[in-house]
Amino acid sequence: MPESNPGGDNSRGVLFGGVFSRGGVDAGDAAWLRAMLDAEAALARAVERAGLAPEGAGAAVTAAAVPENFDLAELGELSALTGNPVPALSRALSALVPRALAGAVHQGATSQDIVDTAAMLLARRALDVIGADLDIAADAAARLAAGHRSTIMIGRTLLQQAVPVTFGLVAAGWLNGLDEARGALARAGAERLAVQYGGAAGTLAALGDRGPRVLALLAEELDLPAPPLPWHTIRLRVLDLAAALAGVDSVLSKIARDVTLLAQTEVAEVREGPGGASGGGPGSPARGGSSAMPNKQNPVAAIAILGCAKQVPGLLATLAAAGEQEHQRAAGAWHAEWQPLADLLTLTGSAASWAADLLGGLIVDPARMGANLRAAGGLPLAERVTSLLAGTLGRAAAHDLVAEAGARAASAGLPLRDVLLGRRQSAGQLEAAGITPEQIDAALDPANYLGAAADFTDAALAAHAACEGT
């Protein structure tokens, strides 16, 4: 799997491309050009099929509509004259086609038709790549969940130790999030992408009564759905796509944040596997190093995911703000969508690629998890002990007894058991309540207080298997 798209054409640049343009999503200038040319070529074929262009016009335009025939820099300069690159592109394309056939170029279309349709093509190609990386990440999470179904660790809430959980349950949570995000993204790709073709003001008046026919043929040529009517200033398709991408980034960000916290030196319950520019092969640089501290092994994949995901809310907000578009063609709001959408596709693709690498190579340390749990001195089981005592002492009295014992255990650095059984007052209360040391030991055994962790893990794995079977 490629770690970046270093060919110089990505929307995040070359210098930072290894972090923010990792993987196979291409939403840079050349990709936009290719998608716009695909739209123009498909339109030429459609108008020929509708009888509005001479025979052979579609093939001639398609043959000319290859990126190598166009100068990106020149198109960019000329776009300043018209506010978008399509007028210059269509003129250049027409010049490459025999004069008798050139009328098929851009027939009936407005610039937004080409850019919006290109955006849908760009998105479809990106979603295929993102989906493939998410599949890899989800399968890796499933293996972690199944392999660590019974690996006990401390659960943490509000960044503090809570009751025991299993790492299998943690990974199952990651898996379920990934599966839900994959489903939402797949639905967006299947239901929200559509061709755009409405002409100057959404009526296709230039085509007379053949407009709907050309629209249907264009959709067929591009294998994109034909919408009921042009969506020039109703931008829910773009926003729904963006929301699905942001959902993916949200899930990946949660996983990455968990890994950075669990990989802290003082916790050290997981760590990233070795990697490098060439996948960690012989002679490749080690991944995770520091320019100042040679001892460091930083969780680079998780950090990169977070770096990608932190940029997403602003992009989503921009696209949401751009959804208000006036009359039949927006003045500025439509233009504001292009770069944020490209960035969103690129960053989500990068995060998904990093996540496939992260989860596929994650190293879990059950011994360290056990050691951290034991070092807590039984305090994570305080809830379980309270429940044991509540039946005889009453919940309030049981809570106060365990809370006082827990505070003494924490301040003295002693196990909760020693305080409960070693202090005369608490030991007397336990004896009077008929609670034996063996019962306290059983209550302080993490394996006896995992609730439905295994069931929930199995349910996530079953749901994942069902997803894979559809």
Q: Are the C-beta atoms of residues 122 and 35 closer than 8 Å to each other?
A: yes
| pLDDT score at 426 | 83
Q: What is the distance, to the nearest Å, from the Cα of residue 463 to the centroid of all Cα atoms in its chain? A: 19
Which CATH number is 56's domain given? 1.20.200.10
Sign of CA dihedral 53, 59, 62, 66: negative
Residue 383 and residue 363 share a domain: no
Q: Are the C-beta atoms of residues 161 and 447 closer than 8 Å to each other?
A: no
Q: What is the pTM of this model?
A: 0.92
- Angstrom distance (rounded) from CA 39 to CA 381: 63
Q: Tell me, what amino acid is at 374?
A: R
Q: Are the C-beta atoms of residues 174 and 180 closer than 8 Å to each other?
A: no
| pLDDT score at 274 | 81
Residue 251 and residue 142 share a domain: yes
Which CATH number is 384's domain given? 1.10.40
Q: Is residue 6 included in any domain, yes or no?
A: no
Domain that holds residue 328: 29-368
Which of 311, 346, 368 is the endpoint of a domain?
A: 368
Q: What is the distance, to the nearest Å, from the Cα of residue 34 to the centroid of all Cα atoms in its chain? A: 25
Structural domains of the chain, count: 2
- Angstrom distance (rounded) from CA 258 to CA 157: 12
Residue 282 and residue 181 share a domain: yes
Measured distance between the N- and C-terminal CA atoms of the chain, rounded to whole angstroms: 25
Give every residue of the chain whose pLDDT is below 50, as ranges: 1-8, 276-282
Q: Is residue 466 included in any domain, yes or no?
A: no
Q: Which of 143, 329, 368, 423 is catalytic?
A: 329
Helix (H/G/I), strand (E/B), else coil: 402:
helix
Q: Is residue 325 included in any domain, yes or no?
A: yes
Which of 315, 333, 368 is the endpoint of a domain?
A: 368
Q: Which of 91, 278, 290, 374 is catalytic?
A: 290
Q: Which two tokens stand for residue 166?
A: 């299993």
CA distance to 4, 6, 283, per residue, from 280 (Å): 15, 18, 8
- In the residue annotation, 99 being an active-site residue is answered as no
Residue 167 and residue 240 share a domain: yes
Q: Which two tokens stand for residue 24?
A: 């196979």
Q: What is the distance, to the nearest Å, from the Cα of residue 76 to the centroid of all Cα atoms in its chain? A: 31
Residue 404 and residue 339 share a domain: no
Q: Which two tokens stand for residue 453?
A: 């962790």
Over residues 393-418, the pLDDT tens digits come to: 899 999 999 999 999 999 999 999 99
Residue 421 and residue 340 share a domain: no
Residue 383 and residue 291 share a domain: no
Residue 92 and residue 157 share a domain: yes
| pLDDT score at 280 | 42
Q: Is residue 295 included in any domain, yes or no?
A: yes
Q: Are the C-beta atoms of residues 236 and 194 closer than 8 Å to each other?
A: no
Q: Is residue 298 included in any domain, yes or no?
A: yes
Which of 368, 397, 413 is the endpoint of a domain?
A: 368
Q: Is residue 457 included in any domain, yes or no?
A: no
Residue 407 and residue 263 share a domain: no
- Angstrom distance (rounded) from CA 374 to CA 364: 17
Residue 268 and residue 388 share a domain: no
Query: Of how many residues is the chain composed?
Result: 470
For tokens 């992408």, the residue is: 193
Q: Is residue 1 included in any domain, yes or no?
A: no
Residue 61 and residue 164 share a domain: yes
Residue 83 gets the label, from left (phi > 0), alpha (psi -120 to 50) or beta, of: left
Q: Is residue 453 included in any domain, yes or no?
A: no
Which residues, 6 or more positions from 296, have their beta carbon under 8 angstroms from its beta carbon?
A: 288, 289, 290
Q: Which two tokens stand for residue 139?
A: 């399968």
Q: Which two tokens stand for residue 221?
A: 């040529």
Sign of CA dihedral 329, 335, 337, 342: positive
Residue 383 and residue 263 share a domain: no
- Angstrom distance (rounded) from CA 9 to CA 284: 25
- In the residue annotation, 329 being an active-site residue is answered as yes
CA distance to 162, 331, 333, per residue, from 326 (Å): 52, 8, 9
Over residues 27-71, the pLDDT tens digits come to: 999 999 999 999 999 999 999 999 999 999 999 999 999 999 999
Render 218-243 in DSSP notation, one character per residue. HHHHHT-PPPSS--TTB-HHHHHHHH
| pLDDT score at 338 | 98
Q: What is the mean pLDDT of the chain?
A: 92
| pLDDT score at 289 | 56
| pLDDT score at 195 | 98
